Amino acid sequence: MKVSLVNEVAIDVFQKELAGLQSLISAMKDDAARGFGASFNDALELVGNTAGRVIVTGMGKSGHIARKIAATFASTGTLASFVHPAEAIHGDLGMIAADDLIIALSNSGSTAELAGIIGYANRYDIPLIAITSGQGSTLDKGANVTLLLPKAEEACHVTQAPTTSTLMALAVGDALAVTLMKQRGFTSDDFHRFHPGGKLGAGLKKVAQVMRPIAPSYLCKDDTPISKAIEIINMSGVGCVGITSSKGRLIGIITDGDLRRHYAKLAKDGDVKGIMTQNPISLKPDDLAAKGLNILSSKKITSLFVLDENSKPLGLIHIHDFLEEGVI
């Protein structure tokens, strides 16, 4: 199929921005003094040892990227705030405490509005990390650590509007936040604390928070007649019945689909062992709700039993439960 001129322009943007990210990967391998890789490790150590907050700042497009980086830090367990550099020199410098750390973004490194923050950091010995392409710039000279972005072609060659450079700065900020998160052992439980709302927060709930408590109508013994199992499935309203052993362990499951597939050979005087699916897929109460949804979707099933450490049913989770919780 012929690629339109519009699509060619879009592809060119992708290629230029991808080239910028690839240059970052190459730069990360440079662990020489003041090489990007070594500087990244120095910056990571500074952020990791910060007793206060991480203050992220930048002007214009860099400011928008700085806001996003601050949000990423905050959502992954690092106290962080955005401070506007122009507002800073009109009183908001008072928001930056002595035990804070500053990350300043500027592609050129010569953004006039950053001068006040750079001077403030230097005067009060507040650690300053620069993310810039401007080697030898005011920001580079005033920083404790400079993450010097490789030179890259902006995606907009007509105006040189910040495109590739802002994407690279964003990637560096994300890399710092995610690497620090992993070093600190930040877990999905911690992440859920900061994301209680929306689909993401719902998916990070534990299965125990979403499941239905086990009910007699969800289970039957392994010697139960098939005719009785059909009655139980009709009564339960969840489209299945769990089969338990004499010790109460879940050993099988029968679903509506099983009954349809075995309809021609169903013996009304037979028991459930003849048609049940043995060792059915199950969940643990500490599993993430998102894991349960993934299993239901990939296996094209509607219900899963939740078992304790002895394989005894604690609850059941149905696809409708995910709808109600907003996981889907």
What is the domain-level CATH number for residue 319? 3.10.580.10
Residue 134 lies in a domain: yes
Ramachandran area for residue 160 (φ above 0: left; ψ -120 to 50: alpha; else beta): left
Q: What pLDDT is attached to residue 251?
A: 94
Instruction: Give the containing element (helix H, strand E) for 253.
Output: strand 250-255
Check which CATH number belongs to the domain holding 41 and give it: 3.40.50.10490
CB 291 within 8 A of CB 203: no
CB 103 within 8 A of CB 56: yes
List, for residues 285-306, the tens digit of each pLDDT value. Answer: 888 888 888 888 888 888 899 9
List, for residues 183-239, the tens digit of each pLDDT value. Answer: 877 655 555 455 455 555 555 678 888 888 998 889 999 888 888 888 888 888 888
| Stretch 152-156: mean pLDDT | 87
pTM: 0.63
Question: What letter would DSSP give residue 3?
Answer: P
CB 192 within 8 A of CB 302: no
SS3 296: helix
Residue 202 lies in a domain: no
Q: Are residues 122 and 22 in the same domain?
A: yes
CB 67 within 8 A of CB 82: yes
Residue 47 lies in a domain: yes
Q: What is the mean pLDDT of the chain?
A: 86
CB 38 within 8 A of CB 30: yes
12, 44, 49, 249 from 52: Cα distances, Å: 42, 15, 9, 51
Cα–Cα distance for residue pair 98/107, rounded to 1 Å: 26
Q: Is 25 exposed, middle or buried (0-12, 13-18, 19+ CB in 10 A)?
A: exposed
Q: Is 68 exposed, middle or buried (0-12, 13-18, 19+ CB in 10 A)?
A: middle
Q: Mean pLDDT lowest for which of 89-93, 191-195, 257-261, 319-323?
A: 191-195
Q: Are residues 149 and 54 in the same domain?
A: yes
Cα–Cα distance for residue pair 164/52, rounded to 1 Å: 31
CB 226 within 8 A of CB 274: yes
Residue 155 lies in a domain: yes
Task: Give the domain extent around 212.
Answer: 207-325
